[in-house]
Amino acid sequence: MKQLLIVFLGGGTGSVARFLLSKWLNSPSTGLPYGTFLANVLGSFLIGIILGYFYKTNTISQNTMLLLATGFCGGFTTFSTFAYESHILLKNNDFLSFGLYATASIIVGFAAVFLGMWLTKTI
């Protein structure tokens, strides 16, 4: 139960940070989601630092890793987890799994968005 609360707090904080960044940087005039893009890039960078430091030094507690990597980065952006998992596949020279995972994630993710949008129009 304690770990769920830790992830919940980190995720909530990350979600609020992403919301504020998007409100600040997303451009209504161009429609380009600069804030979201920056959140994805920063989240990927942060999860790389957090997990890289954890695996290198093993000095971060499991609860701290849950708060920062799973919670905050997960709430800030799920793209960070995707990028980290892709990194692991590449690091393990599993190029086929990387290609399938990355391609499927992008295609299925876009398809799910379009399907959801289509369903909301038809229901």
User: Among residues 102, 82, 92, which one has the least CA distance to residue 41?
Assistant: 82
Tokens read off for 38: 């920056």
The residue count for the chain: 123
Q: Please state, in angstroms and rounded to a whole number, the distance separating the CA atoms of residues 29 and 47.
A: 31
Does 99 show up as a binding residue in the annotation? no
Say whether 77 counts as a known binding-site residue.
yes
* 112 exposure class (CB count in 10 Å sphere: 0-12, 13-18, 19+): exposed
108: tokens are: 């299925």
**Count helices and strands in the chain by DSSP H and E runs:** 6, 0
Binding residues: 74, 77
Binding residues for Na(+): 74, 77
